[in-house]
């Protein structure tokens, strides 16, 4: 039997405030249906400068270690995937190590390639363990980001913030990864970027959607080729994509997952051995199937619709939402996951939900974390957005959570809630 490697447990952290997107639409003079139905969003996390990438990452790791009683001496690697780091040199991971008093005997670093950075970290950790180099140790991979486009921009309703911490080990209670099947596709494009010194991303929005779909096609076809060769999927009365119980996508806004799913289905329908029997129009119509989207994708989007874009963490927030809702029925079934980072890089990979997933998720207080949030008005959201990045408000963090307190002598100081 092959050694198993994958995600043993997870935890999330989100800012304490959110804004309602129908209300934001009205404030912007836009039909609320554009945000709620056109983009598929309901609420958007609103952060203040105290809830920076480090604070969110440390809060997620703290919750992971606490709720799953992780023995920190087991951890040999700590990786933070982020595109909104706080220093050009010192990694977010180093702050997290210090704040959580994690052992010195670890590899500690950040990974960056836009929203793909977290997946780069997850694969480094999984392959480190699979190679045997970890010698029984586990890794913690954290995806933490703040998505910021600015007030009154087209990207405004697709902002958000949060973190997801993953414990990666030889005991993949949540998801055993199919190591070696991953398909990658990367291209040098300017679809979304953030020049040094800018807080707001620069984005060519419609082009970024095209890049995402093109990269998805390449990554999915790469995975499918290997999955067919290993007889994990096959061409038959259903397509290879239809043989995955659920497919999770990078979610910059929920509607993007629907576009992505249509594209993935189109790849299968175009490449099927019997494709010549159908017309291009018929294939396009089939690819758009609502039934397929509802069955394979929709149930993973509940948290994303309430938090917004979390860049590196978006795909893993979808995983948290899916397993929170369905881990009992999905045990033993295979999921497909598509990671996309602008610039661009994408990877399609798969894994099998573990038999212990429901027990693990029962200990993962996703609902409690979401329920603690408070709704703020559009005026309050705008006030918080205008605060300088180095000027956090003086607020006490909740127990077990962290906040940036001040920046003194170019050093960041954090406080932990008691
Ligand atoms: N009722 C219902 N739907 C409506 C509507 C109404 N009154 N008005 C518009 N819509 C629909 C539109 O038809 C459209 O849907 P389709 O795409 O299915 O046609 C949708 O609402 C959005 O409308 P527009 O395209 O006109 O919106 P926009 O031009 O204002 O901006 C956006 C949309 C390009 C996504 C913009 O929000 C943006 O730039 N976001 C940031 C970039 C981004 O998220 N890119 C995603 C791919 S890149 C990536 O994934 C990496 C990452 O994380 C950034």
Q: Catalytic amino acids? A: 83, 115, 250
Q: What angle do CA 323, 326, 328 make, to 5 degrees?
A: 100
* Closest ligand 1 atom number to CA of residue 38: 21
- Cα of 208 vs centre of ligand 1, distance in Å, is 10
Using CA atoms, how far residue 80 sits from 141, 165, 240, 244, 317, in Å, is 6, 9, 33, 29, 15
Q: What is the pLDDT of residues 261-300, one digit of tens each?
A: 999 999 999 999 999 999 999 999 999 999 999 999 999 9
What digits encode the pLDDT tens for the residues 145-199? 999 999 999 999 999 999 999 999 999 999 999 999 999 999 999 999 999 999 9
Q: What pLDDT does 327 receive?
A: 94
Query: Across the strands, what pairs with 274?
Result: none
**What ligand 1 atom has the least distance to the C-alpha of 209?**
47
**Per-residue confidence at 94, pLDDT binned at 50, 70, 90?**
very high
Q: How far is the CA of 305 from the centre of ligand 1 (A)?
A: 14
DSSP letters for 312-349: GGHHHHHHHHHHHHHHHHHTT-EEEEEEEETTTEEEEE
Q: Which residue has a Cα nearest atom 7 of ligand 1? A: 34
Digit-coded pLDDT (tens) for 303-314: 999 999 999 999
By alpha-carbon position, which residue is closest to atom 29 of ligand 1? 154
Mean pLDDT of 323-351: 98
Q: Which of 414, 228, 201, 223 is nearest to 336 (CA)?
A: 223
- Which of 34, 258, 344 for a ligand 1 pocket mutation test, highest count of atoms within 8 Å of Cβ? 34
**Do 388 and 49 meet the contact criterion of CB atoms below 8 Å apart?**
yes
Query: Residue 252 CA: which ligand 1 atom is closest?
Result: 53
Residues in contact with ligand 1 (CB, 6 Å cut-off): 31, 33-34, 37-39, 115, 154-155, 158, 192, 203, 205-206, 208-209, 212, 250, 252-253, 255-256, 309, 311, 340, 342
Closest to 122 measured CA to CA, from 78, 161, 84, 72: 78
Determine the topology of domain 6-416 in CATH: Peroxisomal Thiolase; Chain A, domain 1 (3.40.47)
Atom of ligand 1 nearest to the CA of 253: 44
**Atom number of ligand 1 nearest to Cα 258:** 18
Q: What is the ipTM of this complex?
A: 0.98
pLDDT surpasses 90 at 1: no
* Residue 39 Cα to ligand 1 middle (Å): 6
What per-residue confidence (pLDDT) applies to 391? Answer: 86
Mutational pocket test of ligand 1: of 22, 84, 112, 158, the residue with most ligand atoms within 8 Å of the beta carbon:
158
Give the mutation target among 29, 39, 263 for probing the ligand 1 site: most ligand atoms within 8 A of CB.
39
Could you count the other beta carbons within 10 Å of the beta carbon of residue 230?
A: 11
Specify whether the CB–CB gap between 333 and 352 falls below 8 A. Answer: yes
Please report which residue ranges of 78-116 form alpha helices under DSSP H: 92-99
Which is nearest to 19 in space by CA: 379, 392, 360?
A: 379
pTM over cut 0.95: yes
365, pLDDT greater than 90: no
State residue 394's pLDDT score: 86
Pocket test for ligand 1, best of 205, 261, 311, 338 (most atoms within 8 A of CB): 205
Tell me which residue has its CA closest to atom 39 in ligand 1.
Answer: 205
Q: Residue 297 — left, alpha, or beta (φ > 0 → left; ψ -120 to 50 → alpha)?
A: alpha
Distance from the CA of 38 to the center of ligand 1, in angstroms?
7
Q: What atom of ligand 1 comes closest to residue 259's alpha carbon? A: 18
CA of 286 to the centre of ligand 1 (A): 23
**Does the structure show a pLDDT above 80 at 2?**
no
CA distances from 322 to 124, 317, 359 (A): 24, 9, 14
In this predicted model, what pLDDT tens digit does every residue of 219-260 receive, in sequence order? 999 999 999 999 999 999 999 999 999 999 999 999 999 999
How many residues in total does the chain contain?
418
- Which residue has its alpha carbon closest to ligand 1 atom 12? 38
Q: What percent of the chain has pLDDT over 90?
A: 97
């Amino acid at each position: 039997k092959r050694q198993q490697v994958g995600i043993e447990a997870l935890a999330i952290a989100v800012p304490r405030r959110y804004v309602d997107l129908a209300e934001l639409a009205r404030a912007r003079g836009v039909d609320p249906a554009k945000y709620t139905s056109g983009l598929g969003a309901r609420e958007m996390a609103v952060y203040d400068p105290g809830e920076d990438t480090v604070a969110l990452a440390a809060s997620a790791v703290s919750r992971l270690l606490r709720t799953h009683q992780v023995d920190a001496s087991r951890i040999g690697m700590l990786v933070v995937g982020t595109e909104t780091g706080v220093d050009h040199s010192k990694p977010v991971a180093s702050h997290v190590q210090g704040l959580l008093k994690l052992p010195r005997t670890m590899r500690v670093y950040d990974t960056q390639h836009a929203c793909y950075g977290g997946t780069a970290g997850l694969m480094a950790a999984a392959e480190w363990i699979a190679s045997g180099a970890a010698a029984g140790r586990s890794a913690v991979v954290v995806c933490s980001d703040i998505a910021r486009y600015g007030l009154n921009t087209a990207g405004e309703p697709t902002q958000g913030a949060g973190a997801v911490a993953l414990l990666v080990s030889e005991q993949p209670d949540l998801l055993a990864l199919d190591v070696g099947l991953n398909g990658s596709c990367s291209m040098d494009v300017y679809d979304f970027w953030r020049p040094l010194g800018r807080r707001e991303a620069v984005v060519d929005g419609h082009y970024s959607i095209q890049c995402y779909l093109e990269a998805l096609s390449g990554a999915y076809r790469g995975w499918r080729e290997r999955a067919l060769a290993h007889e994990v999927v096959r061409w038959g009365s259903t397509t290879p994509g239809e043989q995955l119980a659920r497919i999770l996508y990078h979610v910059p806004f929920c509607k993007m997952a629907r576009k992505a799913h249509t594209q993935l289905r189109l790849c299968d329908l175009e490449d099927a051995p019997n494709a010549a029997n159908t017309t291009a129009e018929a294939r396009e119509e089939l690819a758009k199937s609502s039934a397929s989207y509802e069955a394979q994708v929709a149930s993973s989007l509940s948290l994303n619709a309430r938090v917004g874009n979390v860049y590196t963490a978006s795909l893993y927030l979808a995983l948290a939402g899916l397993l929170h809702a369905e881990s009992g029925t999905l045990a033993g079934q295979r999921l497909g996951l598509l990671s996309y980072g602008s610039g661009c890089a994408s990877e399609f990979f798969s894994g099998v939900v573990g038999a212990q997933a429901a027990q693990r998720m029962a200990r993962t207080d996703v609902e409690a974390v979401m329920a603690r949030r408070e709704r703020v008005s559009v005026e309050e959201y705008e006030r918080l957005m205008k605060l300088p990045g180095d000027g956090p408000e003086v607020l006490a963090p909740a127990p077990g959570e962290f906040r940036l307190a001040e920046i003194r002598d170019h050093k960041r100081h954090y406080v932990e809630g008691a």
